Structure 1
């Protein structure tokens, strides 16, 4: 039986692992939630989930601790997401084990996460992993999402669960190409009910989307319970159906929990992944 969210480590007492434990990774199939939003086969998007792990540490062969940041790219084609608490426990399991080098840590991260993300899908694949050593920490950037900020609008908000009917577009006018952003995305964890705070960027070409309606729609996620990846795919599909853009990309950056941030990106057309650069709130 496929793993389900309520069987995951979320919301359960879990001691910090004392030794490297790849079996802690808990994959959850993407398919059921995609079916909920009308995706029964091949998704109408490309993209990836960009993770940053801030709590990575391990021991040298002589027992001295090392710290680093890990940047992970999980393609959205993988059959599974990796549940975030299991990811945290897995990353922390490195802290009590000795490794010959950072390259060995990198190789194990890449192999373990790929196995979990692609498990049960009938095909194997890879994930991207990059480490930032401590001597490069001061090169890490902070940058807000580029685009026109919707939050400037003085609107009335009355919906706090996703309401696609709030999305409208000017189908009888000339098409436009624009990038819109908001810092008001907030949803709740599917299992624990704890808040997930995020910023979102919507890049599209086609009939001009009504900005007030789009902001109301984004605010309507405020009491919604889904994982980050699922929220972004729901936003993508609702905009695609309601506003019929010729091109569409949705990118969200969520604030970190448990030393991890998760930043899903979905695009209707081949497009380079955005750089994994944190925002001020991350």
Structure 2
């Protein structure tokens, strides 16, 4: 994996091309990291998608007039490859001085290129600024656990920080299973090459054995110095929670802040129901 990452544009001075160039996209195989996490790449334990928003997309119409859009990209988690974010940024910037007849032509072009890089169909939608402004910010769903009174002294990833709840809100029905949604805004991880910080909100929704809120918060804080891509952090959290607790249902997703004009929102779940597209205040 390290050799692959060092071949990417991450951490290097890059020429910003302003003419359309799909070769700038740099795909990274998901398989090796998933094997490290004990995930069978050919039999995933979850459904999901990686939802990206691109805020720096512009091109020229046939008259040479600039057009701007906010883009949404949806990659299935079953795609063999994810797309490295700096290469994605460079690719989107390559549209700047290129002429296209319509927004539909641009969307079709991007969908074709991303699908080829991810090796799976990628859905693309382009919003006008007015359309995107109409999408209100939403609160993070569920119970926020950030005010839990905990001592945090571990900032390197440590799954042993997870602990079972000795007490809690036990449902009288369904053999004591608990259904709840938890969120924390304290998620921070780092780029595996440059070390740049990635900030986000983590949401855990489940039905099953109750998660101890304080230990979950300490666990999330242990990602603070952890170096891994957004998608991999979410899959790691999903796997760790499944190993430690007994669930009937589990959903884990993160809403990361934008960096380089892109935000990434990975979603993994035991349910194949299609999630809504949230937009939180820090995004």
- What is the TM-score normalised by the length of structure 1? 0.94
Q: Of 210, 213, 216, which aligns to 2:215?
A: 213
Distance 1:94 1:196 in 2: 26
SS in 2 for 1:208: coil
**1:264 aligned residue:** 266
CA contact (8 A) 1:3 1:28 kept: no
Structure 2: stretches of 5+ with no match in the other structure: 171-175
SS in 2 for 1:274: coil
Distance 2:227 2:3 in 1: 18
Q: Of 229, 240, 243, which aligns to 1:241?
A: 243
Q: Alpha-carbon deviation of 1:204?
A: 0.3
Q: Of 181, 187, 190, which aligns to 1:188?
A: 190
CA contact (8 A) 1:48 1:264 kept: yes
SS in 1 for 2:110: helix
CA RMSD of aligned residues (A): 1.7
Distance 1:30 1:141 in 2: 33
Q: Alpha-carbon deviation of 1:278?
A: 2.2
Q: Alpha-carbon deviation of 1:91?
A: 0.5
- What is the TM-score normalised by the length of structure 2? 0.94
**2:60 aligned residue:** 59
**2:151 aligned residue:** 156
Give a deviation string over 1:173-193, Cα, whole Å, max 9, x none.
611000000000000100100
Q: Alpha-carbon deviation of 1:3?
A: 7.6
Q: Alpha-carbon deviation of 1:170?
A: 4.5
Change (3 A) 1:274 1:3: farther
For residues 125-140 of structure 1, the aligned pairs below 5 Å read 125-140=120-135
Structure 1: stretches of 5+ with no match in the other structure: 119-124
**1:26 aligned residue:** 26
SS in 2 for 1:126: coil
SS in 1 for 2:234: helix
Q: Alpha-carbon deviation of 1:40?
A: 2.9
CA contact (8 A) 1:3 1:27 kept: no
Give a deviation string over 1:81-137, Cα, whole Å, max 9, x none.
00000000001111110001001001001100000001xxxxxx3111111013324
Which runs of structure 1 show a deviation greater than 4 angstroms over 4 or more consecutive aligned residues?
A: 170-173
Change (3 A) 1:137 1:207: closer
Q: Alpha-carbon deviation of 1:138?
A: 2.5
Distance 2:40 2:166 in 1: 28
Change (3 A) 1:256 1:142: same
200-209 vs 167-176, which moves further: 167-176
Q: Alpha-carbon deviation of 1:274?
A: 2.5
Aligned residues: 275
**1:121 aligned residue:** none
Distance 2:115 2:69 in 1: 20
CA contact (8 A) 1:28 1:82 kept: yes
